[in-house]
Amino acid sequence: MTLASEKRVYNLLSREALLNPYPLYEKLRTEAPVYYFEEGGFWFLSRYQDVEAAVCDLRLSSDKRALYASKLLNLDKDAIKNIMKLLGGMMVDKDPPEHTRMRKVSLSGFTTRALEGWREIIHETTNSLLDKVQARGCMDVVQDLSLPLPSLMIAKIMGVPEHQRAEFQQWAIDIATFWGAPNGEEVVELALRADKSAVLFTEYINHMIEERKRNKTDDMISLLVTAYEENGFNLDELPSLCILILCAGLVTTADLIPNGINALLTNPEQLDKLKSSPQLVGYAVEEMMRFDPPVPIIFRIAKEDVTISGKTIPQGHIVAIGLGAANRDPQKFDSPDVFDITRTNNEHLGFSKGIHFCLGAVLARMELTICFETLLRRMPNISFDANNQPISKRQTIAFKGFKSFPVKF
């Protein structure tokens, strides 16, 4: 590589790249696959092979406390102690052996039997949301479907009674919004709001735990309480696990649904194919996850000097692992920029891989399959709304989705 190309700046944070990062990913894969982006203060990996190896490399730590701290430099730490405690206990930010222990016990909340029981909850929740808009002939996919669906679904799965679900959903949204927040001015306001919700959320989960200790049902909180008790683990960890499940299930699905609808509407021949062959819906969801994933980047911190494809990332440096860039790598996928719902062998990295592979992947796949199947059956004439353009989110490179996505049907 020449000195000139070495010095070239690939601005991953430009407005253009935040809206559509794929052309920049392509340049990076060919010209600078292991790239130090000075302005952002992180390394960026864009090739499938490097990304796949990095998510499985335990020299890259998931303990991102340093990242949170840099985001909140100007804040009185005492004012946000509740949210920091809640987020600080999340296993997604832990390394082995602590992660191994937490992951094993969390799996008890996602048994095959439990998942099958939740299928009906997903059907009922999707239908009830679509009932509200069906007669109107138009909706905002984000406000009317993709944001309420996962939070309501998880609230039901956790056994939150109907009269408390609105409040529960609001706490989850406040906390998830701060969790996914970029650096910048608004982060302070989001942190303070999230701190208040963290107090209420923690109190509420602790109250549920006490109830379930006395009276077990088949909801997720009961399954987790039983597993924690059987293993002799401290139940104080449960609020953090619950908020992780809520946040991880909410921010992702809320973005995947509009991203997927966008891919279908901008590729009408694929939409027609799916309408005429609804049995392809499972493949279509996998292709949406590959083509425009809601989590295009995950972060790690190098625990020691790590050499990747000939470049040495120094100890302590931040590494942004480009799941979205890997998903468009022509070395791995034929015609990667083509959205093709019949694609097979689709080994995308949208749910990551390795020890932190998405714990909710089976649930997410079930939820997304039911959602798209129901949507296209009930609203087969779905189209863009010519009078209202979709508005993309563009505050952060870690999550990619829409703020609003108006459609007609």
Which residues of the chain form contacts with ligand HEM (CB under 6 A)?
62, 91-92, 103, 154, 244-245, 248-249, 252-253, 256, 293-295, 298, 350-352, 356, 358-360, 363-364
Q: In the complex, what is the shortest distance from the CB of residue 179 to ligand HEM, in angstroms, rounded to a whole number?
A: 12
Nearer to ligand HEM, 28 or 358 (CB): 358
DSSP H helical segments within 90-219, as ranges?
Answer: 98-106, 112-134, 148-158, 165-179, 186-214
Nearer to ligand HEM, 208 or 363 (CB): 363
Q: In the complex, what is the shortest distance from the CB of residue 66 to ligand HEM, in angstroms, rounded to a whole number?
A: 15
Give the other-Cβ count within 10 Å of 197's Cβ. Answer: 23
Q: For the chain, report the end-to-end CA distance as a whole number of angstroms.
A: 52
Q: In the complex, what is the shortest distance from the CB of residue 292 to ligand HEM, in angstroms, rounded to a whole number?
A: 11
Nearer to ligand HEM, 255 or 340 (CB): 255
3-state helix, strand, coil in the chain (%, to 5): 60, 10, 30
**In the complex, residue closest to ligand HEM by CB:** 360
The CA-based dihedral angle spanning residues 24, 25, 31, 34, taken in that order and rounded to the nearest 10 degrees: 130
Q: Token pair 């009906």 is at which residue? A: 120
Nearer to ligand HEM, 326 or 359 (CB): 359
Specify whether the CB–CB gap between 282 and 365 falls below 8 A: yes
56 Cβ partners below 8 Å, 6+ apart?
353, 354, 355
Nearer to ligand HEM, 117 or 137 (CB): 117
DSSP 42-99: EEEE-SHHHHHHHHT-TTEE---HHHHHHHTTTS-GGGGHHHHHHHHT-GGG--TTHH
Q: In the complex, what is the shortest distance from the CB of residue 256 to ligand HEM, in angstroms, rounded to a whole number?
A: 4
Write the single-letter amino acid at 3: L
Please tell me whether residue 36 adopts helix, strand or coil conformation: strand
Nearer to ligand HEM, 32 or 50 (CB): 50
Q: In the complex, what is the shortest distance from the CB of residue 205 to ligand HEM, in angstroms, rounded to a whole number?
A: 15
Q: In the complex, what is the shortest distance from the CB of residue 105 to ligand HEM, in angstroms, rounded to a whole number?
A: 11
Please tell me whether residue 26 adopts helix, strand or coil conformation: helix
Q: In the complex, what is the shortest distance from the CB of residue 172 to ligand HEM, in angstroms, rounded to a whole number?
A: 11
Nearer to ligand HEM, 181 or 248 (CB): 248
